[in-house]
Amino acid sequence: MPYRAPVEDYKFIFAHVSDMEAVAATERFSEATQDVTDAILTEAGRLTEEVIAPLRRVGDETHSVLENGVVRTPPGYKEAFTALTEGGWVAISAGPDYGGMGLPIALTTAFNEMMSATDLSLGLCPLLTQGQIEALEHHASDEIKQMYLPRLISGEWTGTMNLTEPQAGSDVGALKTRAVPNGDGSYAITGQKIYITWGDHDFGGNVCHLVLARLPDAAPGTKGISLFMVPKYIPNDDGSLGPANDLSVVSLEHKLGIHASPTAVMQYDGATGWLVGAEHKGMAAMFTMMNNARLAVGAQGVGIAEGATQQALDYAAERNQMGPIIEHADVRRMLLTMKADTYAARAIVLNCAIALDLARATGQDDWKARAALLTPIAKAFGSETGIAVAEMGVQVHGGMGFVEETGAAQFSRDARVTAIYEGTNGIQAMDLVGRKMADGGEAAARLLDEIEAHAETARASLPELAEPVWQASETLRETVEWLADEGNMPNRFAGSVPFLHGFARVLGAHYHLRAAMAEDAADGPRTKLARFYINRLLPEHAGLLAHAVAGADDLYAFTAEELTA
């Protein structure tokens, strides 16, 4: 059976398991009424089911290729991208000043999930454009805004982000690309960037590269980095495409997955660029784009998880081996884990998006801190869920999961990169135990207060589910306090990944409990799924959080020489 967009699940989470109502109650998002939200979800579902889903296998088999220096995308991609632009889908959250609809990020997140479920490769093109729009809205000069924003928002032009260089991956501060003033307000950009997603394509229009580079007098490290807009074609004053800039695609990477997404090595040979934001403040500007993208990558994981789960359920319902395989206990275990974790990850990602919307609409520090806390969890848990669920999807298919025709393997291959790009999940976890705990664990404690207050309320009707959630939250609270008191950063970092997962496990249980409470029916499907999650998956938090406080000594008991001997 083809993809069915999880529109009802979104409506349910918006209505019962999030603060979406509070978003619509703000002046900024007053147009995002339930009617509007429902209509957008339904239309996004239709578009992804009918137009995008049929491309997933085509793109995987055909790949984007480089021909005579020009990227050629698989058949149907240009038409599908045109459908996205015609429907105004590229940037529904962009501000109205330059033609955007100004809708909540929560809706963009829902759309990104559906795009990722149906074609992660194509979905990356609007996703990066959205991030670029946000960076320009916040940091660019009026001139750049006027030239680029309307065209990016309409999808006539697309955007990329250029951080990575061969010697500068996680360590962005090691980048060497140079920017030299031309004396006329523009800069000459020279250097090589690698892994640039949608670095070129054949959709027409301009490809707008946001490039991190160093000015001649720049300090070493991240403090000496500036951000530049470097378009493929230098636009004329009226926005028509002028001469080609001095940049080229050297090659495309051959990858494990997302074959249709062109991942380019870009060469800049004195290309003309314009400064975005202040000199040497490029990292701050790029962070706007990266935070947007981190949330979006979390949504990518959820999308993959949803697509893989649907396909595995369909297969399990039809395949017979000593009876229908859907009746075997271990297959049940896999299918329910897939369903329960997909919901948990979706609720985490959406609640992060909604915190971001509320931070923007109210300007309140508490919402800013909530969004900042949830972003690394949404990115890492969303992507890990996509990977784990897709992998289980392969297992549910048995041998048919290992052969390519079913498409189950593609989910698994495509999902793998989500734990790597936009800051690896290890880097996300370090962010969580480092910068996000710099408040002494206050933002985390506020969230745990809410979880426990809700569990207290739930005790009356669902005591067997409320108690373990309350207990798990207390264990997490102790871990947060341990982290906040631990001055030795290597000790914090050593347990950061299990801490992030333990945190996500507890959050997932809270959102499942909220769903069960809202459903208010002991044998309702959401309550049964909550019971499965809380009884079988939540207990993992104990092991994860014990690991989180184990410190770094064991890790460094080996010297690097002993380890490699």
Ligand X SMILES: Cc1cc2nc3c(=O)[nH]c(=O)nc-3n(C[C@H](O)[C@H](O)[C@H](O)COP(=O)(O)OP(=O)(O)OC[C@H]3O[C@@H](n4cnc5c(N)ncnc54)[C@H](O)[C@@H]3O)c2cc1C
Residue 307: C-alpha distances to residues 123, 344, 401 (Å): 14, 15, 14
Q: Is 167 in the site for ligand X (CB under 6 A)?
A: no
Residue 208: C-alpha distances to residues 136, 204, 506 (Å): 11, 12, 41
* Shortest reach from residue 169's CB to ligand X, in Å: 2
The smaller minimum CB distance to ligand X, of residues 516 and 548, is found at 548
For 279-306, what is the HEC assignment? CCEHHHHHHHHHHHHHHHHHHHHHHHHH
Cβ neighbors of 68 (< 8 A, separation 6 or more) are none
The answer to whether the beta carbons of residues 322 and 418 sit under 8 Å apart is no
Q: Which of 23, 286, 305, 417 binds ligand X (CB under 6 A)?
A: 417
Q: Is 228 in the site for ligand X (CB under 6 A)?
A: no
Stretch that binds ligand X, among 142-150, 192-200, 376-384, 456-464 (CB under 6 A): 192-200
> Of 422, 416, 435, whose CA–CA distance to 484 is shortest?
435
| Beta-carbon-side half-sphere exposure of residue 404 (alpha carbons within 13 Å) | 10
* Shortest reach from residue 255's CB to ligand X, in Å: 6
Burial degree of 23 (CB within 10 A; 0-12, 13-18, 19+)? buried
Q: Is 285 in the site for ligand X (CB under 6 A)?
A: no
The smaller minimum CB distance to ligand X, of residues 163 and 451, is found at 163
Instruction: Check if 422 is active-site.
Output: yes
Q: Is 169 in the site for ligand X (CB under 6 A)?
A: yes
Q: Is 197 in the site for ligand X (CB under 6 A)?
A: yes
The smaller minimum CB distance to ligand X, of residues 209 and 360, is found at 209
Map the footprint of ligand X across residues 230-259, applying CB under 6 A. 255
Give buried/exposed letters for 345-383 (b at 16+ CB in 10 A, else e). Answer: bbbbbbbbbbbbbbbbbbeeeebbbbbbbbbbbbbbbbb
For residue 322 the two structure tokens come to 């000593």
Map the footprint of ligand X across residues 477-496, applying CB under 6 A. none
Q: Which of 250, 420, 445, 546 binds ligand X (CB under 6 A)?
A: 420
Stretch that binds ligand X, among 94-102, 304-312, 426-434, 498-506 (CB under 6 A): 426-434
Map the footprint of ligand X across residues 147-166, applying CB under 6 A. 160-164
Q: Which of 422, 481, 486, 561 is an active site residue?
A: 422
Distance of CA 172 to the CA centre of its chain: 19
Q: Is 62 in the site for ligand X (CB under 6 A)?
A: no
Q: Is 195 in the site for ligand X (CB under 6 A)?
A: yes
Q: Which residues bind ligand X (CB under 6 A)?
A: 160-164, 169-170, 195-197, 255, 263, 417, 420-421, 423-424, 426-427, 430
Active site residues: 422
